A and B are shown apart, each in its own frame.
Chain A
Amino acid sequence: MANLKELSKNPEKMTGGHRLCAGCGAGVVMRQTLIAAAGKPVIIVGATGCVEVSTTIYPFTSWKVPFFHSAFENSAATASGIESAYKSLKRQGKLDKDINIIAFGGDGGTYDIGLQSLSGAMERGHKMLYICYNNEAYMNTGIQRSSATPQGADTTTAPAGKVGQGKKQNQKDLTDIMAAHHIPYVAQAYLGNWNDYITKVQKALAADGPAFINILTPCRLGWAYKPEETMNVARLAMETCFWPAFEVENGVYKINVFPKEKKPITEFLKPQGRFKHLFKPENAHLLEAIQKNIDDYWETLKRRDELGKKGLPA
């Protein structure tokens, strides 16, 4: 468990003055990650996306640690190359420091175009932490649907219209896909619970091998809510079990945060403009379907958590 007093002594490695939107969740993820990772020197790899374009506008940079970006779909392959150089130079005695490598990608760069690169890197066992800052659509290009976009969400390529009701399909379950790589540490987290997230980053960095964290990161522009509501919206994702906080350590599942009382999904959907059309009377069946999916997954996860309490993998 992280200690806020101790953490607050860690130097800020990401400066203010970046160009992320007011109320953007991603900037908070970056800051909390660097604070969590302060124990050791760190190299950051970024995929093309909001964070990269907003923090590295030449000749400026927000990063006080080494930061490298090359393309959109290859954050994990890039981190693989850096980790291989690290191993090689260390083995040859050309480098003595212990260094952590953290790769970031948005959901587009992770769930979609970068999935092959990520899967390859995890399978090869490069020691890196890959963090997906998941805002559930291609926000940098203007809110297009990705395979992380939830059912019913209005995006510019799966819009709500006279006959369409937003995205027809549900999200891909990337966290479980990563768990299926049998890497030492996989976790799902949400913005608005710094303690849970920072603990996960620290556990992930301590793991003996590759680690993956999928953090739900609200986008006030794409989700269409008031900028000051970012943390509240993220917490509602956990409290409705839309986005449970759990971890998979060596195949064993554990739910890290149980909601005090499981709220109906409408509480998460209501404040967000992207779900507005679902509240028309004729779309009641869609809300029901979404609720059912969430209930089913939550039950599955609880079963896995029960097995986990006995030390059994799911």
Chain B
Amino acid sequence: MIKTIYSKGKLVAKTGNEVMAEAMRQIEPDVVAAYPITPATEIVQIFSQFVADGKVKTEFVAVESEHSAMSATLAATVAGARAMTGTSSQGLCLMWEMLNIAAGLRLPVVMAEVNRAISAPINIHGDQSDTMGARDTGWIQIYSENSQEAYDNMIQAVRIAEGAKLPTLVTTDGFIISHCMEVVEVYPDEDVKKFVGEYKPDRYLLDIDKPFTLGSIELQDYYFEHRWQLAQAMRDSKKIIAKVADDFAKTFGRKYDFYEKYKLDDAEIAIVVIGSTAGTAKIVVDSLREKGVKAGLLKIRVFRPFPAELIAKDLAHLKAVAVLDRADSCSGTFAPLYSDIVSALYSAQVISPKVVNYVYGLGGREISVAHLANVYDTLSNIASGTEKPLAEVGYINVRL
């Protein structure tokens, strides 16, 4: 249960989409360009109403596609505006070209993203295949377990994006969070505005007396350096993300790290997971702890940049770890989060934990307490040596 932490905070009942739109109202960007798509439609719908009611000064552009949504949003940023958008699933797929360009041009676009399965077959429900498919586009990716985190992440995203000069997206799990009403603590408008601050670009197109060319062609002689700078900016953004989280904690009282450790420090077995499933896993951890099982959880909040070094330290003491992916990679081998976790461990020469990979919940398929309890049971067996770890991806709750 969410409680008021900030002295001027107010508890309200809101869905994930409502709270994303609320954060956008408080941030009050100069431009929002967006296109409807389930389950993210509500965000721009609610925001359009704010515009129609004169509650924000934002110029809203109801574009004709997500490709144009990202094109217009990043162009507004280049022009000198703080600009945001929102999308999901197929919309993010259609944006893919422009996601790379927003990052390559180092533009601090902020996006409210709702995780949804990708076609085919067409499916509107929650899994993380969409943003996992965009994991190498140069966007900072921040995931949320619940509406409170989505709200807090959106407020931080603006400063992170502008500080790192990298586009940043904040996600919620489709329907599970986007359409689920929860109690959320919201902060006063003026306090959010003060935290976010003014957008002050170094250079912008509308600064008409200082012309510059952006979007040049770069061949063998310059392209590589600029792509290196992009990769380096992603590495450097860790400091900025930590600093913004620190300021956020000082201002509003909620502390955010790259990931949350839940009863992890003295655990022997643990699950690593992203998003709303962490809430379910915490219940399982609690009940196992009551039975004396040393179970723990690591919930990823910041997936890009990937906090590899920290994770390696925090998982090093474990006997067995299950990495749960709500996306498959169709790579013929393991799923995305597992690959990153294992390379984090191996590159830090942490080789003692046995690490297994499960794919779960595609297309919104249910993931229950019982499913997760089974995973912890398996981990206990692996830890005690009574069961050999799977050498390939395991699938949870699917008819094979």
Contacts and interface: CB of A to CB of B under 8 A. Distances in A.
A95 B81 CA distance: 11
A84 B84 CA distance: 12
B222 interface: yes
A61 interface: yes
A120 B63 contact: yes
Interface residues of B, number: 42
A69 interface: yes
A124 B62 contact: yes
Given A61-B213, A66-B205, A80 B30 contact: no
A78 B71 contact: yes
Interface in A57-91: 57-59, 61, 63-71, 73-74, 77-82, 84-89, 91
B211 A82 contact: no
Q: Which 7 A-B pairs have the closest CB atoms?
A: A81-B75, A120-B64, A81-B72, A69-B215, A77-B68, A85-B81, A85-B79
B65 A68 contact: no
A156 interface: no
15 contacts: A43-B206, A56-B213, A56-B217, A58-B218, A64-B211, A67-B214, A68-B75, A70-B98, A73-B67, A78-B72, A80-B68, A87-B59, A88-B31, A117-B64, A123-B64
Nearest to B223: A58
Contacts of B46: none
A116 B59 contact: no
A91 B33 CA distance: 17
A89 B214 contact: no
Interface of B: 30-31, 33, 57-59, 61-65, 67-68, 71-81, 83, 97-98, 101, 105, 205-206, 208, 211-219, 222
Given A66-B212, A70-B101, A99-B208, A84 B61 contact: yes
A92 interface: yes
Contacts of B64: 116-117, 119-120, 123
Contacts of B101: 70-71
A142 interface: no
B74 A57 contact: no
Given A43-B208, A88-B58, A92-B57, A120 B68 contact: yes
A41 B78 CA distance: 17
B206 A99 contact: yes
Contacts of B80: 85, 89, 95
Residue from B62, B206, B218, B219 having most chain A Cβ neighbours under 10 A: B206
Interface in A93-140: 95, 97, 99, 116-117, 119-121, 123-124
A223 B213 CA distance: 30
A61 B80 CA distance: 21
A57 B217 contact: yes
A155 B208 CA distance: 41
B75 A77 contact: yes
Given A57-B217, A69-B216, A97-B208, 12 more contacts: A43-B79, A66-B205, A69-B214, A80-B63, A81-B31, A81-B74, A81-B76, A81-B83, A82-B205, A85-B76, A88-B81, A89-B80
A79 B217 CA distance: 19
B75 A79 contact: yes
B71 A74 contact: yes
B98 A63 contact: no
A52 B64 CA distance: 25
A40 to B, nearest CB: 10
A120 B69 CA distance: 11
Given A56-B216, A57-B216, A66-B211, A91 B79 contact: no
B57 A88 contact: yes
Contacts of B213: 56, 61, 63, 66-68
Contacts of A57: 216-217, 219
Given A57-B217, A120-B68, A82 B78 contact: yes
Interface string A4-26: 00000000000000000000000
A123 B63 CA distance: 10
A206 interface: no
A131 to B, nearest CB: 17
B59 to A, nearest CB: 4
A304 B216 CA distance: 43
A53 interface: yes
A149 to B, nearest CB: 24
Contacts of B57: 88, 91-92
Contact of A77 (B71, B205, B208, B212): B71
Contacts of B211: 63-67
B205 A80 contact: no
A52 B217 contact: yes
A58 B217 contact: yes
Contacts of A88: 30-31, 57-59, 76, 81
A84 B97 contact: no
Contacts of A71: 71, 97-98, 101
